[in-house]
Amino acid sequence: MTADDRLNTLVDAAFAFALTLMVTGGGQAARDMGSLAQVVAEAPAFLIGFVLITMFWHAHVRWRRDHGQGGVMASLLLVFVVLLYVHPLRVLALSLVDYVGLGEGPKLTIASGRELFATYGLGFFVLSAATAWLFWTGMRSAADDAASRARATGEFGIWLILAVAGAVSFFIAWLTPMTWMAPWVYAVLPVAIGLFAWRHDWAGDSKVASMPTEIG
């Protein structure tokens, strides 16, 4: 097993453990009907956390599939932050499902909401920035492969957009009186990412298409 294989195994194990921490009741099995009902009530919150955590994990899988070398510091940063990020993510997910009436969770006040949104935004920013860092290393390593470089550049752009959203949400929550506007920053992501993905040359053949054709 190479050093890169060991690193990838560590990343996979860390994300698997983070998902375990997201499970309701700290991963403890239900012992009675009351605890079983609590598990079922918290299932929507677990789904939210599951989707977000696996989003970062699958980005690492895509990076290692196309590149797979280097990126040690970015990968270790992902491991470190995701194990911390899972805790505010779980609280935020529980509060969200409680707010929309799909389960029971902690009630947020202005003070607790500011701290939670700021912590979540900071974690989202660092995780997204670390993932963008991975694909930046991919851009450098794929300098001679136009298609691979184009994919890495596209992924870098998407994760940079996500990182900016996390940073903006953090600053709104922590430094402005508009705390409750912080979560709404993420609502613009589908549009921003969709426009970027639509405009980006994923095949890496724009330079080829623009080259003059020889005659004769």
* The pLDDT value given to residue 35: 63
Rounded alpha-carbon distances, angstroms, from residue 31 to 19, 28, 36: 21, 9, 7
HSE of 216, CA atoms in CB hemisphere, 13 A = 0
From the list 163, 175, 201, the residue with the least C-alpha distance to 59 is 163
Q: Structure pTM? A: 0.83
* The pLDDT value given to residue 107: 58
In the predicted model, what is the mean pLDDT of residues 105-123? Answer: 76
Across 13-27, 51-65, 169-183, least confident range: 13-27
What are the tens digits of pLDDT across the range 32-49? 666 666 667 677 888 888
**Range with the largest mean pLDDT of 82-91, 123-132, 147-156:** 123-132
* The pLDDT value given to residue 211: 35
Question: Which two three-digit tokens encode residue 152?
Answer: 């890495």
Tokens 């003070």 belong to residue: 111
Instruction: Report helix, strand or coil for 137.
Output: helix
What are the tens digits of pLDDT across the range 1-35? 788 888 999 999 999 999 888 875 555 655 666 66
- Under the banding of pLDDT at 50, 70 and 90, the label for residue 202 is confident
Assess contact for 106 and 91: CB atoms under 8 A. Answer: yes
* The pLDDT value given to residue 208: 40
* The pLDDT value given to residue 213: 39
CA distance 160 to 125: 9
pLDDT at 79 over 70: yes
**What is the average pLDDT value for the chain, to the nearest integer?**
82
* The pLDDT value given to residue 28: 61
CA distance 26 to 195: 39
Assess contact for 56 and 80: CB atoms under 8 A. Answer: no
